[in-house]
Structure 1
Amino acid sequence: MRHTSASPDKSRIKSKWSQDNIIELLANLDFVVKNIRQNSGRAGKNEVLQKLQARLRKRRTVRQIDNRLKSLTGSERPKTIEDVYRHGSSRIQNLDFGIKLKVLEELKSIMSKEVCMVVSTPRQLRSGSRHLGVETSRSKRENTVFSERTPTRTMPRRLRGEPEDLASKPSENESLSSKSPLSHDTLIVPRRKFLSRLTTTPPYPSIADTEERIKSSQSPDTCREGNTTEACSLNGTPSLQSAPQSSFYATGLQDTLTIDYDDPDTVQQIPEDAILDCTHETLRDLFNDNLYFRKKWLESEERREKIDRNERLRHSLLAPGSSDVFQTMADTIEIQDEKINTLQRQLSNQKFLQQFLTLGRGKEVPLNQAQIQINHKKMTREFRSLSIMNCFQHPGETSACLESQDLNELKSKISTDLHCYPIGLVIQSLTGAAVCEWVFNGKIQCTAMMSSPLLEGYRRHLGTVCGELALRNVDLAAHQWVIDEDKHFQEQFLPRTATKLSGRLLDALGPFIKHKGKAEAKLQRRLESIFCAALNIKTFAMIGKNVFEYIWPVHNSIFERNLMAEESSEGTKCNQTLSDQGTKTVMLALVPGLRVYSYDRKLVDYCGFTKGDEGLEQPSLVAQALVVAQ
């Protein structure tokens, strides 16, 4: 990256921009975004240039900085000035990890959460930043191949101008996506005339408006630096040296997103990192569910538009004044099909409700017991597959990995001395403890099961008119329908929850993992399968009037053959001699078991498992626990 010096007698001398200068320039692009917004052009240019000139470590002239900014803005013809900043943030993503940290330190003064979301946007949402080739030879300096995901348009150097010239042209007000439709042909463009273009950009609110809204609520009048208090930087934005380093993440990324749900393009562009950084669990689920349903809506809209186009094409082929006989027949058939579908739907609903309407107060077999046993067998198979993975090791006494709070809590649920057992059994036991504590002892409730005033009104009046027993049966049937028929629950909620739990357990097992990369990815897939099966057990267990209980024997408890199955203890270093009475004791629990109690639950309990205070007696075994005994 070379630019012409500002000195008249040295106009031909090239000035190399150092890496630190590029960091400073990228970090200060927020000033450019904030000050260059009007259609009149680069308003406040001199103020911006002076700000950038003061911040560059190696002093640059105003002309050099001006040329540098024009190379980032003018050559790409951005439709909005947010495109300029998105280009800068995409450049940040391509930097080395250490340099990226320096840039983020410089960016900690940005108060706009929209800017923070842009910085945290995943690379797959910025197609322009994914295919910036690395120049390795003289031939590659002239031509660079870019994939189909980054459509570009070159422009002669003589046509390039400043942003005010570009903004005045009516052709530049068109949408970028309409000018550059995606094609399957590979584009080859000159390297020097190309800067990555974002094909579509989410219509976030303006940064200037957002800063005014944030300043009205926070009012940061002063910034502290060292032991002195100084005035904030330009336009109320704190200087890059002010505020703690964590303020960039604490104030920006954790704020509530401002999303225009009326724009169909917005949902496709919402960054996933911004949703994951939200601290509130329910809010994250709401964002994810909204994305899912909006995508489904967009798909249905595309199908509807396709049908309308075909309908218009068919009508255009008819002779003027003639009637469409085929359309009349199609309408008649459609009416008959609607009647048939309605009757079939009523029969299906009656068959589905039959098992709930006949549910009384007797000791019937628990609902979904067969599905629970199937998922438990699947979970046990996945547990045993963990023991054959060779990516684990016992952490040494001098291990540099720190044990997390989750790992310490899981260790407290199993044996005290884990070094006596093979590492595969230890991983199984820790995973089993995580399933018991995070799934069976936890609360599972998707957004579709949330309470609302209208739902509470239905429950109250239904219980008054039909009685508590009918209310309980209808409540169970409604939840069963959500679990079985709602694709969102099986395709989105359960996999998303399993991924979250597997990532949490993977972080806790960090000291035991010796091979990263592919082995860690394979381990996470198996953990996701285990948690998916456990979540299915949890959901099926809470649909019914009975109460379930998981079996997780503690260390040195008596081995009960009717409740537990013994796993081979080959490789253990503990003393395996039997006691005088010949009884065995549990040394390590691997897979939790299940049993069920007869009970008359009033409504669905999202915890689903017994809390120990119901006074239950005479349980029935559903699945045995897998343990190591001696």
Structure 2
Amino acid sequence: MRKALESKCTLIANLTAQRRKQDILKPFLAIDPGVIYPTECLRISNKHDELRRSCGFIRGMDGLQHVPSYIILEPTSDLMLLLNSVFGKSVKTYLADPETGKGNIITSDLVRSLTGAAISKWVFEKDLRFPDTASTPLLEAYRSLISSVCDQTVLRGVDFAAHLTVMKDKHFQEVDLPRYAKRLATRLTAALHPVIEEKKRPRVTKELNELLVRPFQLALDIKCLVMVGKDLFECVWPDRGTPFEESCMVDEPANWMRGGKEDGKLNWNRFVKLPSLPGLRVYAYERQMVDYNGFRKGVEEVSQGTVVAKALVYVM
């Protein structure tokens, strides 16, 4: 009696596991060409809202300063590349200004902008590979064999579902992602060394390093959602000095209603002072396999995109 009960329990557990796998796979086998799925976009939008809130600690943080004009940065250093992303062509003017010439930019806003630039360049626009999702000869062999006995739709569905299964795994969520986020937080904290006041550097560095982990982990969550979908995404990262555009930008802090327009047109009376957090735009696309980047490289043929999350900017 006991053995029969154990056997039935095992059977139930196996069938339940199979059902879970089928539930993960089923949506990927029913993908309609040319359709952007609102459910996935909503998940990404919600994650972006969390990401925005997680960066709020930077505003008003003490112990920060502008990059001193006497510091010479290597062109390929992380900080210089991030400053280029934030200031564009005016980066040399910013660096050459004495402290008094930078008074219209709050130091905490600058650090938040540099954080947004790091999220854009180091997470969203970069290939993301973990040991658990790395391409191997065995994985390529599986893909080849599946494609030989099934059509491309099945292969794509299995590839997306397999990656999603790995990314939902407890070890991936509790070990791999946090470890990667901590590594990025440490990298950014090191890059921000010149913008931390020397007297307060030990305390601020430790505090900043700990608090930056959460934003990077949320950005990685978004990246994973983008990777396991057929559509193509793009970072919305407005250049400094461009007109404020309601359709894809939000004024930071949340007082964007003043003087703005609700028709999505360019507002030539207001300009981007600094980009703060990258927004996201999605394009209907027919990606056939998991792309470890998932973002536009500028060569793909796509139709008009849809804004999933607006870019946060400081305006002037």
Write the distance in 1 (CA, Å) between the matches of 2:22 and 2:227: 22
Pick aligned residue for 2:158 from 458, 470, 474: 474
1:455-474 paired onto structure 2 within 5 Å: 455-474=139-158
Shift, 1:582, TM fit: 4.5
Amino acid at match of 1:586: V
Equivalent residue pairs, number:
289
CA displacement 1:497-551 (0-9 Å, x = unmatched): 1111111110110011122333322211221111101111111111111001110
Write the distance in 2 (CA, Å) between the matches of 1:473 and 1:491: 26
Corresponding residue for 1:454? 138
Shift, 1:599, TM fit: 0.4
Aligned alpha-carbon RMSD (Å): 2.1
Amino acid at match of 1:432: G
TM-score (norm 1): 0.44
- Which segments of 5 or more consecutive residues in structure 2 lack a partner in the other structure? 96-101, 256-266
Write the distance in 2 (CA, Å) between the matches of 1:569 and 1:339: 55
Pick aligned residue for 1:414 from 65, 83, 86: 86
Q: 1:529 to 1:627 in 2, by over 3 A?
A: same
Corresponding residue for 1:513? 196
Shift, 1:447, TM fit: 1.2
Pick aligned residue for 1:617 from 278, 288, 303: 303
Q: 1:586 to 1:347 in 2, by over 3 A?
A: same
Write the distance in 2 (CA, Å) between the matches of 1:395 and 1:524: 19
Do 2:60 and 2:108's aligned partners in 1 also have CA atoms closer than 8 Å? yes
SS at match of 1:548: strand
Greater C-alpha Rg? 1
Corresponding residue for 1:369? 41
CA displacement 1:423-469 (0-9 Å, x = unmatched): 01100111111111111111111112222222212211211221112
Write the distance in 1 (CA, Å) between the matches of 2:193 and 2:53: 23
Amino acid at match of 2:152: E
Shift, 1:358, TM fit: 1.1
Q: 1:585 to 1:453 in 2, by over 3 A?
A: same
SS at match of 1:520: helix
Write the distance in 2 (CA, Å) between the matches of 1:451 and 1:366: 29
CA displacement 1:234-277 (0-9 Å, x = unmatched): xxxxxxxxxxxxxxxxxxxxxxxxxxxxxxxxxxxxxxxxxxxx
CA displacement 1:139-166 (0-9 Å, x = unmatched): xxxxxxxxxxxxxxxxxxxxxxxxxxxx
1:599 maps onto 2:292 in alignment = no
Corresponding residue for 1:557? 242
TM-score (norm 2): 0.85
Write the distance in 2 (CA, Å) between the matches of 1:459 and 1:569: 47
CA displacement 1:175-215 (0-9 Å, x = unmatched): xxxxxxxxxxxxxxxxxxxxxxxxxxxxxxxxxxxxxxxxx
Q: 1:451 to 1:397 in 2, by over 3 A?
A: closer
1:431 maps onto 2:115 in alignment = yes
Pick aligned residue for 1:443 from 118, 123, 127: 127
Amino acid at match of 2:46: I
Pick aligned residue for 2:53 from 369, 381, 401: 381
Pick aligned residue for 2:211 from 526, 535, 542: 526
1:252-331 paired onto structure 2 within 5 Å: 330-331=2-3
Do 1:586 and 1:629's aligned partners in 2 also have CA atoms closer than 8 Å? yes
Corresponding residue for 1:488? 171
SS at match of 1:443: coil
SS at match of 1:414: helix
Do 2:36 and 2:231's aligned partners in 1 also have CA atoms closer than 8 Å? no
Corresponding residue for 1:351? 23
- Which segments of 5 or more consecutive residues in structure 1 lack a partner in the other structure? 1-328, 571-580
